[in-house]
Amino acid sequence: MENSDQLTDFTIPQLLRWRVKETGDKIALREKDFGFWNSYTWKEYYNYVRKTALGLEVLGIQKGDKVALIGDNIPEMLFVAIGTQSLGGISAAIYQTTLPDEIAQLLEYMDVTHVFCDDQEQVDKIIEIKERVPKVKKVIFEDPRGMREYMKDDWFMPIEALYELGEKVHKENPDRFENHVDQGEADDICHFCLTSGTTGLSKGAMMTHRNYINMGLQLSNTDPLEPTDEYLSFLPFAWIGEQMNSFGVAMATGITINFPESVETAMDDLKEIGPHFMFGAPRIYENIRSQIWLKIDESYRLNRLFYNYFIKAGEEAAHYRMSGKTMPFGLRIKSWFGTNMVLRPLINQIGLLRLRRAYTGGAALGPELFTFYQAIGVNLKQIYGQTEIVGIAYMHRDGDVRPETVGFPLPRTECKISDKGEILSRSPSVCKGYYKMPEKTEEDFAGGWLHSGDAGFIDENGHLVVIDRLSDVMHNKKGEMFSPMYLENKLKFSPYIKEAVVLGDKQEFVSCLLNVDPVIVGKWAEDRGISYTTFMDLSQKKEVTELIYQQVREINSNAEKSHYRIKRFAVLYKLLDVDDGELTKTGKIRRKFVNQKYENLINALYDSEVSRKKVEAEYTYQDGQTTTVETELEFFTMEEVS
């Protein structure tokens, strides 16, 4: 068996072939379709990649050609991606929620010649922009429903027809695919991973086989996974967080990837699988926490008392564990009893009972939410990285988990802090730069180090602490520094607050725009007989704004420094949304865009004379259509905290 250093010299197709030799009959992929779970062994996985690759070769795919993938997570995504890579081509995933105009820009930017879509919804987007993407020679699709009329145009091809082409080539030349796989090299560019696009159109990070495989191996060396472990693939495949698991971790460790029936059923399918390993952006864990609060709120009064009591005991115990201090015997007994007798049945209802480790990354997770998961018995670990270093470069080690840090560098990863406080990283997982952007590549990879754009420091325990984006760190008029992300996480720990945008750069005080959580606050309103129609109506109810006022007041009372306190806030009439350009595909706030869009509201927040303001709310639907609704927004001034 090859050691880790040898495996990093493999390409992804070569590592897949090695997996077949090691555990060919073990389940590699599992997909839920029409209520049933269908399985693929590693051997079957490899066979599908082979016929996909040979079929793509018949269509004209050669070394360096680009194939785009658009759709929900299905096994065929991997078949097409790795099939493309087997030929020396480059795969590139686009978020399935991306609107046609942006898809056209991305396909042209990346010089895509072939597109794979999972269903008619995505194919229709390509049809809409057909005249704008002349380089695209063929659109391949997986789900044939609704596609009968499309087949009159040979621009379209069902994936079954692609398989038939590939199978025919294989029968005529059984060694052809193996020869292609043998020619690949670890440092070949294999995939364009799109960055989050917080400042504009996403950049295509040029990822190599070595980038993905090294990350998967080093993660498993630090936090070993068992080949029998289950993983649920519910993150968008276009996000580096999903690719690192599909291309890197699964290949390196042999775990099984499970694909839910749809995005909508992912949380229900999670309960059926009961994964051992989970990765998600903070928004995922915020949503799961909301589900937990709902289940507690819907239980009997005595149960609610038990849950709240033992969660608080669990949080106290978690603080002892994470600080390395000896836990009092009484608290140890109380924590054990609460975890096993009260909280385990609760997390079993969510589907996390078998979870041995969970990671969160892509954005910061507040210490309070982090501690909450530790308290209920979920081994959640904060990780840090970015697209350009395959998602994970720093993580907590078992027995040394601290809520305010992101842990230590993975093996073979170096870290240093620049003179201006920027986090710099160097690793075999750092990509080769950005496609067709030499100046930006030179800037972000200067001196052989990946420049993160994040401010941070290494604490006395050797842990990396991330403060915020360098460009987002703010200073009030007195010059006192504060991190908006830190305050936003404090606010979002309230189960009633879904999103927060903190403001105050070069201002007298800190203010914020808030979104209420429609599920939690909706249930809260129903329990109190408060009727409402739309989210806009709910968010502006007097009782709801009073509830949010108390949440902000409590956060202010616990603020470490006086200039961290929120003085003015408003509850937004709409949820911040990806389709409206306010959030990135991974849920990060696009601050510059939000500041411009809500400039009038922000100005009103800093005018003490303004208590109410009429606004026009513009909504963008998934099909690109927009609508405008008028409403009135109230501004709240917080009382001073002694």
Domain range 4-271, CATH architecture: 3-Layer(aba) Sandwich (3.40)
Could you tell me where in the chain the CATH 3.40.50.980 domains are found?
4-271
Q: Which residue has the higher pLDDT, 616 or 38?
A: 38
Q: How is residue 521 written in tokens?
A: 């606050």
Nearest 5°: CA angle at 444, between 96 and 95? 0
Torsion of the alpha carbons at 301, 305, 306 and 310, rounded to the nearest 10: 150
User: Quick check: 385 and 391 in contact, CB under 8 A?
Assistant: yes
Distance, CA of 393 to CA of 384 (rounded, Å): 6
Q: Cα torsion at 52, 57, 58, 59 (round to 10°)?
A: 90
Amino acid 609 reads: E
Contact 387, 195 (CB under 8 A): yes
| DSSP bridge pairs for 474 | 482
Find the mean pLDDT for residues 238-246: 93
Tell me which fold the domain 474-637 belongs to.
GMP Synthetase; Chain A, domain 3 (3.30.300)
Q: How many CB atoms lie within 10 A of CB 227?
A: 12
- The pLDDT, as a whole number, for residue 1 is 40
* Cα separation, 265 vs 172, whole angstroms: 42
Contact 560, 551 (CB under 8 A): no
User: Is 254:25 a contact under the CB 8 Å cutoff?
Assistant: no
DSSP H/E element including 315: helix 301-323
Q: Are 218 and 244 in contact (CB under 8 A)?
A: no
Task: Tell me the three state secondary structure of residue 477.
Answer: coil
For residue 42 the two structure tokens come to 């590693």
Summarize the confidence of residues 401-416 as an average pLDDT: 91
Q: State the Cα–Cα distance between residues 279 and 390, nearest whole angstrom.
A: 13
Taking the alpha carbons of 529, 530, 531, 535 in that order, is the dihedral positive or negative? Answer: negative
What mean pLDDT value characterizes the chain?
91
249 vs 269: CA distance, rounded Å: 21
Q: At residue 526, what are phi and psi to the nearest 5 degrees?
A: -60, -40
Q: How confident is residue 200, by pLDDT bands cut at 50, 70 and 90?
A: low
CA 547 to chain CA centroid, nearest Å: 30
- The 3-state DSSP class for residue 500 equals strand
pLDDT band at residue 37 using 50, 70 and 90 as cut-offs: very high
Cβ count within 10 A of residue 282:
22
Assess whether pLDDT exceeds 90 at residue 529.
yes
Torsion 558-563-568-574 (CA) sign: negative
Assign 266 a pLDDT band (cuts: 50, 70, 90).
confident
Average pLDDT estimate for 312-332 = 89
- What's the CA gap between 418 and 424, in Å, rounded? 7
- Cα–Cα distance list, 592 to 155, 204, 470, 569 (Å): 40, 21, 14, 19
Instruction: Measure the CA–CA gap between 561 and 635, rounded to whole angstroms.
Output: 23
**What's residue 335's pLDDT?**
92
Q: Is the pLDDT of residue 203 over 70?
A: yes
Whether 515 contacts 503, CB under 8 Å: no
The boundaries of every CATH 3.30.300.30 domain in the chain are 474-637
* Residue 54 burial (10 A CB sphere; 0-12, 13-18, 19+): buried
| Alpha-carbon span 547 to 553, nearest angstrom | 10
pLDDT at 158 over 70: yes
- What local confidence, expressed as pLDDT, does residue 410 receive? 95
Please name the residues in contact with 286: beta carbons below 8 A apart, sequence gap of 6 or more. 369, 492, 498
Helices (H) then strands (E): counts for the chain: 24, 27
- pTM, to two decimals: 0.85
Residue 599: Cβ-neighbour burial (10 angstroms; 0-12, 13-18, 19+): exposed
Q: How many of the other CB atoms lie within 10 Å of CB of 309?
A: 13
